[in-house]
Structure 1
Amino acid sequence: MDTTAAGWTSGPLLGFDTETTGTDVSRDRIVTAALVHSVGPGRDAETVATWLIDPGVEIPPGASAVHGISTEHARAHGMAPAEALDEVADALADALRRGIPVVAFNASYDLQILEAELARLGLTTLADRLGHEIAPVIDPLVLDRGLDRFRKGKRTLTDLCEVYGVTQDGRLHTADVDVSATLDVLRGIVARNPDLAGIGLDELHRRQMTLHRDWAENFNEFLRRKGKAGDVSTVWPL
């Protein structure tokens, strides 16, 4: 697939998001996953696939309060994790093999927990399915932090929707809605930074690796000055 400017800005994108039992990628489990195949701005240009999963463990009340999925609901209606996550990984691998970038907000989290889940379930990881690093990936959070580094305020998906003029209906933290909002935020970032449209996907992936490393090094130094452990990983996306 063409990875020139015209290739990625006017070509298809595959948005990815998960909702989980917690924030520890090595121990927590995926409860829902969403893939949104987008061929242009607007919801009419999107095809959505979602998975509700029985994680096999209790979903903590705090996590349920975020995404609205209870243990009882997941047990009654969810798919077996191995079946669902094998389908998710196959779809991601198929897109990446065809040069379609995976777009995810805070992509490191979603990709790390997916890889951990696949390994735990005895399934082939996404990286092994590809036979190389997971790429190309586009992470609007990494781009925003790197390209507008001195802007004050939080950088949650809700915050970035406001910064980039994305209208959302208050249903964020539903995986498919989060993905659609993330795709819109990416388009807003490109509109403000049109040079991004002038580079290929491979270069964009590498640029994000550098942007994340620079941000993480600066953030770790900030934490150390505050007397805290500065141990944020400088590696992106995995």
Structure 2
Amino acid sequence: MSWHQELLVGFDLETTGTDVEQDRVVTAALIRLEADGRVAGAQSWLLDPGVPIPEEAARIHGISTAHVQEHGRAPASSIAEITEALADVLRADIPLVVMNARYDLSLLDRECRRHGVPPLTDRLGRPPSPVIDPLVLDKHVDRYRKGKRALQALCGHYGVRLDGAHEAGADAAAAVGVARRIGEKYPAVALPSPRALHTLQEQAAAEQAASFQAYLRRSGDPEARVEPAWPLIPYQR
């Protein structure tokens, strides 16, 4: 059996912004989905990040500073819980599906370091794997397709239902759905080993980054650099 015919766990964050080094987690969701789409378990977290949520971010995910101040949990304990939940999944060699994993996993890593809790790599004793990233896979199997590749666009392209975009649980479930459709449609990535797929994505992500970097440099930014590491941007001490 290929990875897309087995249990998958989806993960998603909603945050204060897009800077993995500076921004904070607002909500997180982890959802276990059987091969037939049944939900086998779900966890969610609402955090008070300790900083104001910018209006632009609040417009996207619908969560305000006032709401998290009233209902959110302290960040340190929640970040520790989220990270340990991911570690449990990966220790069991269950594939963790994360749309644009380089962003979510790197931001979570920085939150761990900010709050003095062991990051995912320390808990596992190794880099996080196996991870499945629908964004990396889609670019790999359909490199020259025009148009957007955000989660909503991928759901439309692959016929995956997305109820409540930018709600962490809905996005996590949709990411799993997109990953399964890619596995079903493209035999080249329907590998029996999730770890082999992880290795393929490491290589694909590096190639995609190099291609985008070259494009930016041709387009007038000779100093442009696109991070090749996946699924985690190394922490620079």
What TM-score range do you get, normalising by the shorter chain? Answer: over 0.9
Query: Quick one: distance in 2 between partners of 1:9 and 1:165?
Result: 16
Query: Quick one: distance in 2 between partners of 1:97 and 1:106?
Result: 21
Query: Quick one: distance in 1 between partners of 2:5 and 2:180?
Result: 11
In structure 1, the residue matched to 2:103 is 109
What is the aligned counterpart of 1:216 among 193, 209, 212?
209
Any gaps of 5 or more consecutive residues in structure 1?
1-5
Amino acid aligned to 1:181: A
Q: TM-score, normalised by structure 2?
A: 0.94
Q: Percent identity?
A: 47
Query: 3-state SS of the aligned residue for 2:162?
Result: coil
What is the aligned counterpart of 1:37 among 28, 32, 40?
32
Query: 3-state SS of the aligned residue for 1:154?
Result: coil
Query: Quick one: distance in 2 between partners of 1:203 and 1:188?
Result: 18
Query: 3-state SS of the aligned residue for 1:69?
Result: coil
What is the aligned counterpart of 1:180 among 156, 173, 184?
173
Give runs of ≥4 in structure 1 deviating > 6 Å: none
Query: 3-state SS of the aligned residue for 2:43?
Result: strand
Shift of 1:46: 4.1
The answer to whether residue 58 in structure 2 is matched with residue 50 in structure 1 is no
Asked if 2 retains the 8 angstrom alpha-carbon contact of 1:219 and 1:230, the reply is no
Any gaps of 5 or more consecutive residues in structure 2?
233-237
Amino acid aligned to 2:102: S
Tell me the number of residue pairs that the alignment of Structure 1 and Structure 2 aligns: 231
RMSD, matched Cα: 1.2
Asked if 2 retains the 8 angstrom alpha-carbon contact of 1:54 and 1:75, the reply is yes
Q: TM-score, normalised by structure 1?
A: 0.94
In structure 1, the residue matched to 2:235 is none
In structure 1, the residue matched to 2:157 is 163
Shift of 1:7: 6.1
The answer to whether residue 67 in structure 2 is matched with residue 67 in structure 1 is no
After superposition, residues 145-164 of structure 1 pair within 5 angstroms as 145-164=139-158
Query: Quick one: distance in 1 between partners of 2:80 and 2:39?
Result: 26
Query: Quick one: distance in 1 between partners of 2:36 and 2:225?
Result: 38
What is the aligned counterpart of 2:74 among 80, 85, 88?
80
